[in-house]
C-alpha cells in the first residue's frame, strides 16, 4: 500500500477540524471499501483519520416515532437490532443480503452509504475512467458492461451504486445527518446520492469536509408487507445485478401506500413517483405490479452486455411486489424465489 499517516479523531469536532486542515486526508470507519481501494491504488490518501472510535454507536427511538442510527453502528448490529428487525425488517433483510458476515461486522452505517462503485474499470487503474480520473473517458460504455447501469446514466459514466442497505433506506425515506465546519444539516435520502451527469467523480452531495453522524428512519416501517429480492451471480456474497425493495400498506387487497426502489441498476437507488402513484388505490395484483414495473423502468437503456437487466428487473419488480403483498418476504437463507 502507498504509505499514509494515521491519526485518531477524538470527537466529531476534532474529525472535522482534522479533515479541513488536510485536503488529501480521508476518514476511515470500517475500512472495508477504503483499504481495498488503497490496495488497488485507486485511492491514495496522505492521511487516514480514524473515526471508528467516535461515540456514534447507538440505535435509539426518536421523539418523532422513528429511529436514529449512529454512523458507526456496524451493519450486523443494525440488522439484528430488535427495533430494526421488528419495525423495519426490510432494512434488516437488505443489509443481511450484502457482503459476508465478517464484512458486515466491520462495515459501518455511514461507510455503507459512501462505498464506491464496483465497475471493473474504476478498479483497473490501467484503463480510462471518468469517475477515477475525470476527463479520461469511460471504458465501460463500449466495454464489458454487464454489471453497469440501465437507468439515469450519462455519456460520462454508467456506473451503479453497489449498496443493498441504501436501497432499503431509499424505500423507507431515511434522512442522513451530517456535520461540517458550518454546523449540522440533514439530507433527504433521495438527495444524498447523485446521478453521474458530467461529474461522475462525485457520488454524493456530502461535502468533502463533512462527516455523516447518523441516519434517521421515519416512523413508518412497513413491517407487514415488504420484501427485498436480490438477484446476483452467486447465491450469496456477491453484488446485486438487480435488487428490489418493495413496501406496501394494504387495506384488504387495495394498495394504500407503496414504496419501490431498485438497486444495481443506477448511480443511486432508483425510485419513481409515477410507479408508486400507479399502485395507489389499485388491487394488489399482477396487472398493477406490471404497470408499476413499466413506470419504474421507463427510459431504461442497455449498453450491450447489460441489456438483460431490463427484463430481469421487470420480472423481479413484479415478483417482489407480489411477495410483499402476500406477506411472504424473500428469505436470505432459503434461496428459492417463491
Ligand X SMILES: Cc1cc2nc3c(=O)[nH]c(=O)nc-3n(C[C@H](O)[C@H](O)[C@H](O)COP(=O)(O)OP(=O)(O)OC[C@H]3O[C@@H](n4cnc5c(N)ncnc54)[C@H](O)[C@@H]3O)c2cc1C
Which of 38, 68, 71, 78 contacts ligand X by CB under 6 A? 71
The whole-angstrom separation of Cα 95 and Cα 109 is 10
SS3 190: helix
Give the cell for residue 100.
459476508
Residues 32-61 that bind another protein (CB under 8 A): 32, 35-36, 38-39, 43-46, 48, 50, 52
Is 250 exposed, middle or buried (CB count within 10 Å of its CB: 0-12, 13-18, 19+)? Answer: middle
Which of 66, 70, 89, 110 contacts ligand X by CB under 6 A? 110
Which C-beta is closer to ligand X: that of 115 or that of 225? 115
The whole-angstrom separation of Cα 315 and Cα 235 is 18
What's the gap between Cα 40 and its chain centre?
A: 22
Beta carbons within 10 angstroms of residue 252's beta carbon: 8
| Helix residue spans in the chain (DSSP H) | 12-21, 34-39, 75-80, 82-87, 89-96, 101-106, 109-114, 120-123, 165-171, 189-192, 273-279, 286-296, 308-326
Which C-beta is closer to ligand SF4: that of 261 or that of 266? 266
Which C-beta is closer to ligand X: that of 146 or that of 291? 146
Note whether 177 binds another protein by CB under 8 A: no
Which C-beta is closer to another protein: that of 267 or that of 314? 267
Residues 138-177 that bind ligand X (CB under 6 A): 162-165
Q: How, if at all, do strands 59-61 and 67-70 pair?
A: antiparallel
Tell me the CB-side half-sphere exposure of residue 130, using CA atoms within 13 A. Answer: 20
Q: From the CB of 100, what's the least distance to ligand X, in Å?
A: 7
Task: Please give the residue ranges that form the binding site for ligand SF4 (CB under 6 A).
Answer: 117, 119, 121-122, 129-131, 138-140, 148, 157-159, 200
Task: Please give the residue ranges that form the binding site for ligand X (CB under 6 A).
Answer: 26-34, 36, 51, 71, 98-99, 103, 106-108, 110-112, 114-115, 162-165, 211-212, 239
Task: Please give the residue ranges that form the binding site for another protein (CB under 8 A).
Answer: 1-6, 24-28, 31-32, 35-36, 38-39, 43-46, 48, 50, 52, 76, 80, 99-103, 105-106, 114, 116, 131-134, 200-204, 206-208, 210-211, 235-237, 332-335
Amino acid at each position: 500500500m502507498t504509505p499514509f499517516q494515521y491519526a485518531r479523531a477524538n470527537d466529531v469536532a476534532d474529525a472535522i477540524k482534522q479533515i479541513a486542515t488536510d485536503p488529501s486526508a480521508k476518514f476511515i470507519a470500517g475500512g472495508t471499501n477504503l483499504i481495498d481501494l488503497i490496495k488497488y491504488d485507486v485511492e491514495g490518501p496522505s492521511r487516514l483519520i480514524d473515526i471508528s472510535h467516535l461515540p456514534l454507536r447507538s440505535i435509539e427511538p426518536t421523539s418523532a416515532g422513528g429511529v436514529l442510527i449512529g454512523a458507526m453502528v456496524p451493519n450486523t448490529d443494525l440488522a439484528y437490532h430488535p427495533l430494526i428487525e421488528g419495525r423495519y425488517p426490510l432494512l434488516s433483510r437488505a443489509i443481511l443480503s450484502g457482503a459476508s458476515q465478517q464484512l458486515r461486522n466491520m462495515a459501518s452505517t455511514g461507510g455503507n452509504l459512501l462505498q464506491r462503485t464496483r465497475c471493473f474499470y474504476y478498479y483497473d487503474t490501467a484503463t480510462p475512467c471518468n469517475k477515477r480520473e475525470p476527463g479520461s473517458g469511460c471504458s465501460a460504455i463500449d466495454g464489458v458492461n454487464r454489471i453497469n447501469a440501465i437507468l439515469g446514466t450519462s455519456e460520462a459514466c454508467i456506473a451503479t451504486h453497489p449498496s443493498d442497505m441504501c436501497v432499503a433506506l431509499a424505500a423507507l425515506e431515511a434522512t442522513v445527518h451530517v456535520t461540517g465546519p458550518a454546523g449540522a444539516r440533514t439530507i433527504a435520502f433521495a438527495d444524498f446520492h447523485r446521478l453521474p451527469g458530467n461529474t461522475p467523480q462525485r457520488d454524493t452531495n456530502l461535502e468533502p469536509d463533512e462527516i455523516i453522524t447518523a441516519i434517521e428512519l421515519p416512523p413508518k416501517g412497513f413491517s407487514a408487507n415488504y420484501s427485498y429480492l436480490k438477484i446476483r451471480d452467486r447465491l450469496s456474497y456477491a453484488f446485486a445485478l438487480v435488487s428490489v425493495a418493495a413496501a406496501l400498506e394494504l387495506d384488504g387487497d387495495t394498495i394504500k401506500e407503496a414504496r419501490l426502489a431498485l438497486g444495481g441498476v443506477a448511480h443511486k437507488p432508483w425510485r419513481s413517483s409515477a410507479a408508486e402513484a400507479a399502485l395507489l388505490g389499485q388491487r394488489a395484483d399482477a396487472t398493477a405490479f406490471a404497470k408499476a414495473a413499466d413506470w419504474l423502468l421507463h427510459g431504461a437503456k442497455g449498453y450491450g452486455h447489460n441489456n438483460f437487466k431490463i427484463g430481469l428487473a421487470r420480472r423481479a419488480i413484479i415478483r417482489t411486489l407480489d411477495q410483499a403483498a402476500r406477506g411472504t418476504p424473500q428469505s436470505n437463507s432459503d434461496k428459492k424465489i417463491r
